[in-house]
Copies of this chain bind each other. A is one copy, B any other.
Amino acid sequence: MTEKWIVGVDLGGTTTKLAFINLYGEIVHKWEIPTDLSNEGKNIIINIAKAIDHQLGEMDVDKSKLVGVGMGAPGPVDTKSGVIYNAVNLGWKNQVPLRDLLEVETSLKAVIDNDANCAALGEMWKGAGNGAKDLVCVTLGTGVGGGVIANGQIVQGISGAAGEIGHITSIPVGGAPCNCGKTGCLETIASATGIVRLATKKVQDSSDSGELKNIYQTEGSISAKYVFDSARNGDQIALDVIEEVAFHLGLALANIANTLNPEKIVIGGGVSKAGDLLLNSIKNYFDQYSFPRVKESTTMAIATLGNDAGVIGAAWLIKNTMVK
């Protein structure tokens, strides 16, 4: 059999990432198209179908080379029915039969899942998970997302809301408001947004001077990157912010691990680029708060696939259906 390809699609609110991926999970070609949110998102799937056909033409490859299309989408997905709910970022109201639409428009077999789950599957298959069948992925970006894999399968939960690690309640009383309607969610602390909030408050409250305070006074605001840079230079306020973030992440991840004892916890997203300073501190708290047998067996790793995790994990959705 000549090499077959899977189409991996990572559907985002601004950009849609696509890739042709071989059956070994290797990216043959990847590209992006803008996500067209006009007209209540009616063009989104047609544009994906056109993009695939156009790219095949460019590469002079017959469509029979494609065995299917896997897609990660930004919202809760019922994988059995292939329906996505409340994908408000795409302009879709209520529920959309996304898998069926994708199959009709592309004339390919389609499988869909939530985008955070696809990222987790990508890391399991080809990234830091390294084939681990029990895996928890946490993405520290603008928000905090998560994906849970147990016994080699994504845990969806009864309404597709499993993996909402960002909405673990870290501060039960007096926490900051979260977009979800609760207060004190992990996301209000450990996301880039949360870090900026914590740092701004500490800088405003502190009478000490220092690098981060100077930046704030000069620029009028702070970014998460400034916090990490200042911490690396030994700025005390920045170090305090990192410590607070690490405490809440270490505690939450330890409690997840006490429940699931995964082989690996993979940490990804922009905030994970803070590097060893943050990670060592998370690890310290994780060790302190995890059950001894869990501490000995569950390890932590930084995500390795970056932005490719989504398309690779989406391709895995198809790969997984090919197991005899």
**Which residues of A line the B interface, CB within 8 A?**
76, 132, 134, 146, 148, 150-151, 153, 155-165, 167-169, 172, 180-182, 247, 251-252, 254-256, 258-263, 288-289, 291-294, 296-298
Contact yes or no, A161 B261, CB < 8 A: yes
- CB contacts (< 8 Å) of A180 on chain B: these are 291-292
Contact yes or no, B293 A260, CB < 8 A: no
Q: How far is the CA of A26 from the CA of B4 in the complex (A)?
A: 50
- CB contacts (< 8 Å) of A159 on chain B: these are 261, 293-294, 296-297
A262: contacting residue among B146, B158, B181, CB under 8 A: B158
Contact yes or no, A161 B251, CB < 8 A: no
With A151-B151, A165-B258, A256-B259 given, name 17 new contacts (CB 8 A): A134-B162, A156-B261, A157-B262, A158-B261, A161-B294, A161-B297, A162-B259, A164-B261, A164-B294, A169-B251, A169-B258, A172-B289, A180-B291, A180-B292, A181-B292, A182-B288, A252-B255
Q: How far is the CA of A259 from the CA of B156 in the complex (A)?
A: 10
Contact yes or no, B161 A150, CB < 8 A: no
With A134-B158, A297-B158 as given contacts, are A291 and B260 in contact (CB-CB < 8 Å)?
no
Shortest distance between the CB of A81 and any CB in chain B (Å): 15
Shortest distance between the CB of A136 and any CB in chain B (Å): 8
Q: How far is the CA of A258 from the CA of B294 in the complex (A)?
A: 20
Contact yes or no, B292 A259, CB < 8 A: no
Contact yes or no, B161 A293, CB < 8 A: yes
A289: contacting residue among B160, B163, B182, B298, CB under 8 A: B182
Q: Could you name 27 residue pairs across A and B whose Cβ atoms are closer than 8 Å? A: A76-B293, A132-B158, A134-B155, A134-B156, A134-B162, A148-B150, A148-B259, A150-B150, A150-B153, A150-B155, A157-B260, A158-B262, A158-B297, A158-B298, A159-B294, A160-B293, A161-B291, A162-B259, A162-B260, A167-B258, A168-B258, A169-B254, A169-B255, A169-B258, A172-B247, A180-B292, A256-B259
- CB contacts (< 8 Å) of A288 on chain B: these are 182
Q: How far is the CA of A297 from the CA of B78 in the complex (A)?
A: 13
Q: How far is the CA of A237 from the CA of B294 in the complex (A)?
A: 36
Nearest B residue to A260, CB-CB = B162
Q: How far is the CA of A6 from the CA of B159 in the complex (A)?
A: 34
Q: How far is the CA of A296 from the CA of B164 in the complex (A)?
A: 14
Q: How far is the CA of A296 from the CA of B159 in the complex (A)?
A: 9
Shortest distance between the CB of A302 and any CB in chain B (Å): 19
Shortest distance between the CB of A68 and any CB in chain B (Å): 22
- CB contacts (< 8 Å) of A289 on chain B: these are 169, 172, 182
- CB contacts (< 8 Å) of A153 on chain B: these are 150-151
Nearest B residue to A155, CB-CB = B150
Q: How far is the CA of A298 from the CA of B161 in the complex (A)?
A: 10
